[in-house]
Amino acid sequence: MPFTPVTGRRFLTISGYHDIAQSALLEGLKIIVSQQKWSSAHITFCSAEEFKLGKDLGLLQRIGQQFHWENRNYKNFDEFLINLSSRKRKNIRKERRIAANFGGTFHQFTGDEIKLEHWEAFWNFYIDTGNRKWGTPYLTREFFDYAHKELRDDIVLFLCKKNEKWVAGALNFIGRDTLFGRYWGCVETYPCLHFEVCYYLAIDFAIRNKLSRVEAGAQGEHKLARGYLPTPTYSLHWFENSGFANAVEEYLVAERQAVGDDIEILTDYGPFRKVLED
């Protein structure tokens, strides 16, 4: 099961034998659930192909949604803005001006540019966000030390400094063709700073580095106005108790229809100019 909500292949199979191997793995999974007297098994954020095959093998299907930004071979951020409706374009420019005037500076670090002091600052942001959202921060301080040692070439940190103090930042992971935005935090609050650091700087980075998309994590219809469009995500579920499975399936059928309608409506309501596809 993935630790982070990123769509990808979930069944490790040899090329050319994926369907038959996935079938065998799923049948084995059902046997393990029964033998261990577990209630269920769940394959989250699987690929669309695995999703379809899972249905054929009797698993329940669930569709969710995230908001992703797609790079249409933009040369720069301004070219991206040109493709938006006038109102959305003006709003983004306004938000970026407000954020730029927060009284401090923006910094980008990746690879060897990332220092231990940056992780210490980000740890404070991470803990503050968890505490303010009444959650339990699940990453440990040691995780960030490990990330510094083993992962920093695949990480970009956007940090904000004011009065010689780090006040906010966002952690992103660099994939083969995607930038994955994961954690944001701050110890001082300023208007529009979250939008700039989490969404607009990520778009800037993706354009400069010719990445295909930015995945900004789960939730957040507010991302729509900032160029991030709804994208379906998939999961498969198996319940040992047939009566409970039937009840869940009834719910999932209705939920899939609702999510599909929501994606269609939000996409049509998106920020891009309608003449873009003409």
pLDDT at 134: 60
- Of the listed ranges 6-20, 61-75, 86-100, 126-140, the least confidently predicted one is 126-140
User: Would you say residue 264 lies in a domain?
Assistant: yes
Rounded to the nearest 5°, which phi and psi values hold at 140? -95, 165
Whether residue 6 lies inside any domain: the answer is no
152/109 same-domain check: yes
Q: Please tell me whether residue 230 adopts helix, strand or coil conformation.
A: strand
| In a shared domain, residues 236 and 268 | yes
Task: Say if residue 92 is in the same domain as residue 35.
Answer: no
Is the overall model pTM greater than 0.85, yes or no?
yes
Are both 142 and 218 inside the same structural domain?
Answer: yes
Instruction: Convert the pLDDT of each residue in 215-231 to its tens digit.
Output: 987 777 788 889 999 99
Give the side-chain half-sphere CA count within 13 A for 74: 24
Distance separating alpha carbons of residues 233 and 187, to the nearest angstrom = 32
**Within-domain flag for 166:** yes
Residue 85 lies in a domain: yes
202 to each of 63, 208, 219, 225, 252, how far by Cα in Å? 26, 10, 17, 15, 33
**Parallel, antiparallel or unpaired: strands 213-218 and 178-186:** parallel
Residue 119's contacts (CB-CB under 8 Å, 6 or more residues apart) are 144, 145, 147, 148
Please give the pLDDT value at position 130.
72
User: 191, 211, 228 — which closes off a domain?
Assistant: 228
Same domain, yes or no, for 132 and 78?
A: yes
Per-residue pLDDT band for 138 (boundaries 50, 70, 90) equals confident
CA 119 to chain centre: 21
Give residue for tokens 């029964």.
34
Which run of H or of E encompasses 59? Answer: none
Does the pLDDT of residue 211 top 60, yes or no? yes
Q: For the residues 227-240, what does the mean pLDDT come to?
A: 94
**Is 2 within a domain?**
no
Please compute the mean of the pLDDT values over residues 183-209 and round it to a whole number: 95
Say if residue 249 is in the same domain as residue 266: yes
Same domain for 50 and 135, yes or no, is no
pLDDT at position 220, please? 74
The pLDDT of residue 133: 63
Q: Domain check: are 190 and 258 in the same one?
A: no
Quick one: pLDDT band at residue 277, thresholds 50, 70, 90?
very low
Identify the pLDDT of residue 81: 95
pLDDT at position 2 over 60: no
Instruction: State the pLDDT at residue 115.
Output: 96
* Domain housing 257: 19-67+230-277
pLDDT at res. 275:
57
Same domain, 130 and 265: no
Query: Mean of the pLDDT values across residues 171-198?
Result: 94
Looking at the structure, tell me whether residues 85 and 178 fall in a common domain.
Answer: yes
Q: How far apart are CA 9 and CA 143, in angstroms?
A: 25
In whole numbers, what is the pLDDT of the chain averaged over residues?
A: 92
In this structure, is the dihedral angle defined by the CA atoms of residues 105, 108, 113 and 114, taken in order, positive or negative? positive
Residue 3 domain flag: no
CATH number reported for the structural domain that contains residue 91 in this entry:
3.40.630.30
Q: What is the mean pLDDT of residues 153-169?
A: 97
Strand ranges in the chain using DSSP code E only, listed in sequence order = 40-46, 60-70, 105-110, 155-162, 165-174, 178-186, 213-218, 229-239
Q: Are residues 99 and 201 in the same domain?
A: yes
In the chain, pLDDT over 70 holds for what percent of residues?
A: 96
- What is the model's pLDDT at position 136? 76
Q: Are 224 and 67 in contact (CB under 8 A)?
A: yes
Domain assignment of residue 1, yes or no: no
Find tokens 């006038």 and name the residue. Answer: 86
> pLDDT band at 271, cuts 50/70/90?
confident
Task: Kindly state whether residues 214 and 99 are assigned to the same domain.
Answer: yes
Task: Name the DSSP letter for residue 197.
Answer: I
Q: Is residue 244 part of a domain?
A: yes
Q: How many domains does the chain have?
A: 2
- Exposure pattern of 34-47 as b/e (b: 16+ CB <10 Å)? eeeeeeebebbbbe
